[in-house]
Structure 1
Amino acid sequence: MASKTATPPIKGIKDNSRVKEIGSVYRRLGGSDWRINIKLEPGQGKKNFSISQLALLPRRRVLNATKHFKPAGYPWTIHIEDATAWSHRRIRDCPIRNVSKQEDQDQWCFSFESDGIEFFLPQIELARVLFFHYAYMARLAMIPNGLNEEFDIQPGDDPDITEIHIVPTSTLPLKARGNNDQRRVLAWVLLDEEARRSFISIAQHQLREGEERNGHRLWKFRFDPPELPNVELSVRGQFHKESQVFFVYEIYGAENLSTRSSKVVEFFDPRFAESQAGKGGGVQKAAVSTNQVLINDEELPAVDSEEHILDVPPVTLSFSQPVMTTRKASSGRRRSGAKEGLEEGSETGDGQTEVSTDEPTIRGQLPAAGFNAIDDQSDDLHLYAHKFEAFAAVVELLKTKGCRQVFGGVRKLPALPGYSKHLLKDGNPRCISFNLLNKSGKRYVLLEVDTSDYKNWLSTLLLKQPHRDFDWQAALDTLEQRLLQNSLNWPTPYINLAFPGHHKRIPHPRTPPDNRAFIGASSLQHWADRINLAMQCWCQ
């Protein structure tokens, strides 16, 4: 199901403007800022946008909406066997007359058959969904050898680990460095042979096919798709029943993407070293509401401005074998001087802050902004189970003391508007281990939160089930939310109310200061003994 998140308003266009056509991309000769021709309905003076806005601009989307609009087009699911076998054709070749006669008829589509339907998929729409989630990637795609200039890939100490070193001069945004969803997609582009070949083909086609005219370089966007075997695309578009032809307006989901890379990808980041030293460069603050900002598409952001994160309608992605990404400090020699909160932005009359979603530059004046444009739905909880190995060992010890495990699992803490501690400092999700135990006919829950990125552990929480029909799912949802709102401290007022007299915090064993993950066998036994003793007291 598509997201109901609204698109942030863009300065200079009318309310309730619909994207009707998407034309060529262009830049001034000697310049590096690519823009794209867009025809809006109703017609208006603004006819082009920065390429950084592509994440917001599928066909038929309504911009600056003053009310809720149902997404345009008929929904369909496309099953892909091999996208490299697709034909390259123009929009004018589409048999649907009102599509082929538009002004963007010379733009490139992929043409293919699936389940007896002939599809015309605009090439820039597939690239938007696979690659163009923020300004940096859109610009990098246009630069020959851009990936090699920004990233140094090296084998890790373990065969299942690959190291990606972000060069000190890289302009990769902090959001992408500190966000697990965006890091995973970046790792896919860098390490998967098919994805990398496809990304690189964008610049290759631009060099071969772009034209210079009237002081500009003009290009009809085209690229070579990755193979995408067994991928399912969730799309909306126009279906012409008589001819069995489907023209795609928008892709809003890509499921079962394959990744040919190591199981673990470590990003070494000099900006993360700065954040560890208290000099900025950490994970951004929580996303801001769309009604608090106004995107100024004609201005550039300043280099040292704080990066606002904008919630936008995301594309849902999932990987069949998701990789585990981490962010580590690097000994890069260059200091970027990143600071927080220097730019307040220009205020508009209605209290909105003008921001720019382009890449920061020394010529820029506005605060920078990036998009929350990816909703990663990969089945990846198994990647974080190792964070609870010691805790799992304690549960096994409790089984030897008369406990039966009814349920045990790991889940991610939820993302709450205005809060950020659902993420670890390296951008990975913060998880909680939930274990429902039965001892002497009574039920208990043990909760353990991953606080490996903090100086102090959060104590293990033991709760006794208040009554037989107690709703643990609802209680856990509430507990997680209040835990985050309480800055990773157990919410005492709620616990006292929900579990009066039947809750206890069990301190963790002491660990070596240089290796917090190490807990010896005797310490594990002592940890289990304290939990068991608390249960026995409640059984009496």
Structure 2
Amino acid sequence: MNQVDRFKTLPDNARVQALGNLFKYNDRKTWDIGVRIENSTRKSLKFSQLPYLSRQVVLNQTTAAIPLGFPIEFSLPDRAFWQTAMIKDCGLVKFKAGDEQFQKCFVFESTGKTIYLPQLELARALFFTNNYLANAALVNSALDYEFYVDNKPINDDEDFPLDLVINALPTTLCPKVLFDNEGFKHQIAWILLNNDIKNSFNSIYQHFSHELVKASNFQRWTFRFDPPQLEGVKVVARGWKSPDESTWFLNRIELLDGLFFPDIADIGYSHPSSTENKSGSGKGKRGTYPQLPTQREINEESDGSEDNESALIFCDMTQRIYNRVPRTRKVYAKPRKNPGGKGDEDKSSTLPPDVSTDDPSSRGDTPRAAVDGLDDLTENAHLYINKFDSFFKMLEILEKEHAIKQSKAIIRKLPAVGRSKSHLMADWSPRCMAIVRIEYQNEGYYLLEVDTSDGRASIATKVISARALALKGQLRDFISEIEQGLLSNQFSWPKIFLDELVGESSHKSVSHQQAKKDGQQSAAEIDSWMSRFFTKISQW
């Protein structure tokens, strides 16, 4: 694993050895957490920095580092069989300093092993993959005050009707940039729409408020929460093990596979900062910073400023897979006012080197950042296959009229590249690409078709000779580079790369009419597209 951003006051390759209690001095607004770090005298970091923090994780890496410990995979048992213990009961953690030994664990049996799972580590993997949710967990009913779920939305799109809309309210501290992230959209819906998951999240504050220990000048708390039902969820983790491997202590969860998502097909998302573009001068939001291609330094002590939308910074990803996920799209609360003709992506991306992970406050003077530590691996590109309706109709005509054979289509979501939002449709849904292999007169061709039905771009269908490609390998070996080149090259096919890959004469483009909506074209437009396509391959 390789941390992207640096902590300003920590040394290079700073290994986290232990995590302790949460605490806050009475003259401070934000909460800290006790942290013991190898080769550093620092004894705490901010609780909002928890997405970065697991035992044996290395911060400020100068070379890629894997956390110490042994890999383990297992399935979680029914919650009814979980018990509670402290780290000291395990006997596998040798670090004795601070409050480490008194931190709470869940203990259960799985595949013949006794597993000690720190409660804070499970909460990090479930909830604290970003700093927004870490901060919100310590506020009473924060999600109820910041989000409203509309179960009877007014549908203005008959091709993408919504079952419900998740509205971030004007009171929300949730950064808009997280709403651009499909993984976060799934996560916040997972919490808000599943009572068991939401109750688990809310239990953090309930225990926090009842168990807080107050002293003359500070307050402290030993983290605890009530876990949701996770029976059958597969866990991939690293940790310590006893010599006979019968007892394990988990340092870090790397993957949760099989999380239950409610059976909801289509969800809309609305954020107050995305309803309109405001013009004018004076103090105001000074731009969004969707993704940062260069390294930033996290100021461990600073408060977040109110004067900027959050930048997006990255930490080691915790992977997750749901049993299902919905289609998602952006919803505007009211028509956008855009007198300048430019969208959010054109705002300034200038940002000072230091960033804060805390929520905005009047005392803050450091641009705030949203931490992205979630890698949602749930496969859902097939949900958007209807976007290619005209493309498949064109192929059907080719089959009937010219005896062309086609394979089953593969639908891929395009990746994020740099600060560009080209991988997202105008409604925030993923921009997808369809890949189909066809056969004509004993020759094979790969067809690459990108969804541009939102009108943001126009791009021809790419046709690649399968015979020429076979000399270099399989398409799957190169598709990632093709996608990267497509999105980083002003939304055009990477000609130089394809020339080198298969030769200039072995890939061609077939133009077609821009689809007006959701991949739909008229019968005449489809027929014209088919004719141009057949002419191109028959003259190859």
TM-score, normalised via structure 2 length: 0.87
The correspondence of residues 288-303 of structure 1 with structure 2, limited to 5 A, is 288-289=293-294, 292-303=295-306
The correspondence of residues 247-396 of structure 1 with structure 2, limited to 5 A, is 247-274=249-276, 284-289=289-294, 292-305=295-308, 307-331=310-334, 340-341=347-348, 344-345=351-352, 353-396=353-396
Deviation at 1:283, TM superposition (A): 7.4
Using the TM superposition, name which of 28-37 and 16-25 deviates more. 28-37
Map of 1:348 onto structure 2 = none
Amino acid at match of 1:439: Y
Pairing 1:151–2:147 present: yes
The correspondence of residues 204-283 of structure 1 with structure 2, limited to 5 A, is 204-242=206-244, 244-274=246-276
Using the TM superposition, name which of 224-233 and 152-161 deviates more. 152-161
Map of 2:486 onto structure 1 = 483
Number of residue pairs the alignment of both structures matches: 521
Deviation at 1:173, TM superposition (A): 1.1
Map of 2:510 onto structure 1 = 506
Using the TM superposition, name which of 313-322 and 486-495 deviates more. 486-495
- Aligned mates of 1:472, 1:116 — CA distance in 2: 42
Deviation at 1:128, TM superposition (A): 0.7
Structure 2 contact 287–309 (Cα < 8 Å) conserved:
no
The correspondence of residues 196-207 of structure 1 with structure 2, limited to 5 A, is 196-207=198-209
- Aligned mates of 2:457, 2:11 — CA distance in 1: 52
- Residues 521 and 427 (structure 1), Cα distance of their counterparts in 2 relative to 1, 3 Å cut: same
| Equivalent of residue 163 in structure 2, options 161, 169, 172 | 161
After superposition, what is the alpha-carbon deviation per residue over 1:241-282, rounded to whole angstroms, capped at 9, x for unaligned?
358221111111111111124122211222222359999899
The SS at the match of 1:253 is strand
- Residues 267 and 453 (structure 1), Cα distance of their counterparts in 2 relative to 1, 3 Å cut: same
Deviation at 1:381, TM superposition (A): 2.0
- Aligned mates of 2:265, 2:29 — CA distance in 1: 36
Map of 2:53 onto structure 1 = 57
Structure 1 contact 108–221 (Cα < 8 Å) conserved:
yes
Deviation at 1:36, TM superposition (A): 1.0
- Aligned mates of 1:342, 1:530 — CA distance in 2: 42
The SS at the match of 1:189 is helix
- Aligned mates of 1:510, 1:53 — CA distance in 2: 45
The SS at the match of 1:329 is coil
- Structural RMSD (CA): 3.1
Map of 1:176 onto structure 2 = 178
Structure 1 contact 205–222 (Cα < 8 Å) conserved:
yes
- Aligned mates of 1:502, 1:68 — CA distance in 2: 39
- Residues 442 and 283 (structure 1), Cα distance of their counterparts in 2 relative to 1, 3 Å cut: farther
- Residues 503 and 340 (structure 1), Cα distance of their counterparts in 2 relative to 1, 3 Å cut: closer
- Aligned mates of 1:282, 1:256 — CA distance in 2: 37
Identity of aligned residues (%): 29
- Aligned mates of 2:386, 2:34 — CA distance in 1: 49
Structure 2 contact 386–519 (Cα < 8 Å) conserved:
no
- Residues 431 and 57 (structure 1), Cα distance of their counterparts in 2 relative to 1, 3 Å cut: same
Amino acid at match of 2:203: S
Structure 2 portions without partners, runs of 5+:
156-160, 339-343
Deviation at 1:129, TM superposition (A): 0.9
Amino acid at match of 2:264: S
- Aligned mates of 2:285, 2:450 — CA distance in 1: 26
- Residues 393 and 333 (structure 1), Cα distance of their counterparts in 2 relative to 1, 3 Å cut: closer
The SS at the match of 2:539 is helix
TM-score, normalised via structure 1 length: 0.87
- Aligned mates of 1:448, 1:534 — CA distance in 2: 16
Deviation at 1:79, TM superposition (A): 0.7
The correspondence of residues 7-18 of structure 1 with structure 2, limited to 5 A, is 8-18=5-15
Amino acid at match of 2:258: N
Deviation at 1:28, TM superposition (A): 4.0
Deviation at 1:58, TM superposition (A): 0.3
Structure 1 portions without partners, runs of 5+:
346-352
After superposition, what is the alpha-carbon deviation per residue over 1:292-336, rounded to whole angstroms, capped at 9, x for unaligned?
32211111222223533323211111111122222222239999x
Structure 2 contact 84–105 (Cα < 8 Å) conserved:
yes
Structure 1 contact 310–369 (Cα < 8 Å) conserved:
yes
- Residues 231 and 333 (structure 1), Cα distance of their counterparts in 2 relative to 1, 3 Å cut: same
- Aligned mates of 1:149, 1:334 — CA distance in 2: 27
- Aligned mates of 1:454, 1:532 — CA distance in 2: 26
Using the TM superposition, name which of 390-399 and 517-526 deviates more. 517-526
After superposition, what is the alpha-carbon deviation per residue over 1:97-126, rounded to whole angstroms, capped at 9, x for unaligned?
736786422221111111121111110111
Map of 1:142 onto structure 2 = 138
Structure 2 contact 145–171 (Cα < 8 Å) conserved:
no
Amino acid at match of 2:364: G
The SS at the match of 2:458 is coil
Amino acid at match of 2:434: S
Structure 2 contact 285–307 (Cα < 8 Å) conserved:
no
- Residues 398 and 442 (structure 1), Cα distance of their counterparts in 2 relative to 1, 3 Å cut: same
Structure 2 contact 452–514 (Cα < 8 Å) conserved:
no
